[in-house]
Amino acid sequence: MINRKVELFRGDIFYFTSSPLEDIHAYRYIPDGVLAVSEGKILATGSFVEMKKCFSDASVTDFSGKLLMPGFIDAHIHYPQSEIIGMYGRQLLDWLHEYTFPAETMFSSPEHADYIADFFVNELFRNGTTTCMAYATVHPESVNALFTAASQYNMCMLTGKMLMDRNAPEQLTDTVERGGTESRTLIEAWHNKGRNRYVITPRFAISCTDKQLSEAGRLHRDYPDTYIQTHLSENKSEIDQTLSLYPDCSDYLEVYERAGLVTERTVFGHCIHLSEAESHRLASAGAAIAHCPTSNLFLGSGLFNMREANRLGLQTTLATDVAGGTSFSMLRTMGEAYKVQQLNAYPMSPFESLYKCTLGSARVLKLEDEIGSFKEGCYADFIVVEDAVTPSQQIRKDCLQRTGKWDLENRIFGLQILGDDRNIAATYIEGKAVKFKFITRE
Ligand SMILES: [Zn+2]
């Protein structure tokens, strides 16, 4: 047998083995357990006592009492908007023109792109996010900067150049030809290089002509293992404007269908106001929806109905949509998802939420053999989570322990409702701890 260096991480192990919507017990929870890591990948999980016997020579990093779980996967986020998080401003279309487009214009400068990419990746790690599917800007430099920043850590990053050939400032528009050529060059340079994956990224139907959307569809046919990301039915004015730009389409989804963009490798942001017919077509195409609750509340876009999405068999993930979203934290995102679903009379279980930020998200991205769980052979991308870092969290934990109710469900739910970046004690990529940096402009 080959002698491999094995490292053990001791703590309370938690991960999903399948969807809790199909089987409420589809997880493994091992109090005082061990995650065994070798060469950056998961080797095994088990109880501390039994694993210590199996790997008697292995070093042990002790996180006793803390949760060890797979890193979060954020399937919809805009890295160029990092600087404009929390900027005051009305609804989607106003917000795009007032804050987003000026911020994205700055990315013609590679120095600016490098600085924001570095900030962004660090902010993800500080919040326990180890993989994301991110929008870049129309500038190829913005994609190079983000893949370069992620590659320094061997992080699994999915991103792509924004395609926009109308209804945006001149500095932010490309053409059908330029968008196609630049995307192809970036795919050849980055897709499947290390852990990088390319995402074909038309912003949304308003900012793309039908020719550009068709070109995006062609790109995907030429490179069928790339991904597609775009926005769908986020806001009522957006839907009205889309249908007036595409008068021969019967609904918003048809705009993307005609271009060949509705695939099982497509993630649509939002989908709040879909008709039942659109939902059925999305479900049968196997496309996924990223539900972004902090963004939907912040921009007043509406209340996504998770119960209905589940009933119709739609694949969904939770995502931040920074900077329409107001937090990089997937814990905060799960907390807000709970409240949005409460307003739909659907008290979403903490297991469903957490699944949709880990294994569920990995499945949507067809990466469940690499990330999202502690299955043997997956990358050791994991986080160490502390239950109580604030007085409120501590007194709640004390109360639950005193009354014999400190169970897994209450433990996870407390993190979702009261937790944030302060609860992330450490983030590991391929078994290596990432040091959080506080990035500021010099
Ligand atoms: Zn978005």
CA–centroid distance, 96 to ligand 1, in Å, is: 10
Q: How far is the CA of 269 from the centre of ligand 1 (A)?
A: 6
How far does residue 29's CA lie from ligand 1's centre (Å)? 34
How many angstroms separate the CA atoms of 53 and 281, rounded?
52
Distance between CA atoms of residues 198 and 201, nearest Å: 9
Phi-psi sector, 321: left (phi>0), alpha (psi -120 to 50), beta: left
pTM of the complete model beyond 0.95? yes
One digit per residue, the tens of pLDDT, for the chain of length 442 reads 456 799 999 999 999 999 999 999 999 999 999 999 999 999 999 999 999 999 999 999 999 999 999 999 999 999 999 999 999 877 888 889 899 999 999 999 999 999 999 999 999 999 999 999 999 999 999 999 999 999 999 999 999 999 999 999 999 999 999 999 999 999 999 999 999 999 999 999 999 999 999 999 999 999 999 999 999 999 999 999 999 999 999 999 999 999 999 999 999 999 999 999 999 999 999 999 999 999 999 999 999 999 999 999 999 999 999 999 999 999 999 999 999 999 999 999 999 999 999 999 999 999 999 999 999 999 999 999 999 999 999 999 999 999 999 999 999 999 999 999 999 999 999 999 998 777 777 6
Count Cα neighbours of 171 within 13 Å in the Cβ-side half-sphere. 10
Query: Ligand 1 mean position to 388 CA, how many Å?
Result: 32
Residue 223 CA to ligand 1 center (angstroms) comes to: 23
77 Cα to the center of ligand 1, angstroms: 6
**No. of H helices and E strands in the chain?**
17, 16
- CA of 298 relative to ligand 1 center, distance in Å: 12
> Which residue in the block uniquely carries the two structure tokens 């990330």?
371
Cα 40 to ligand 1 centroid, rounded to whole Å = 32
114 alpha carbon – ligand 1 mean position (Å)? 21
Query: What's the gap in Å between 228 CA and the centre of ligand 1?
Result: 13
Question: 158 CA distance to ligand 1 centroid (A)?
Answer: 14
* CA proximity to 274, closest of 293, 301, 299, 295: 301
268 CA from centroid of ligand 1 (Å): 9
Interval between CA 321 and ligand 1 midpoint (Å): 5
Q: Which of 116, 29, 115 is nearest to 67 (CA)?
A: 29
How many angstroms separate the CA atoms of 304 and 307, rounded?
A: 9
Cα 258 to Cα 217: distance, rounded to the nearest angstrom: 9
CB within 8 A of 148, min separation 6: which ones? 114, 117
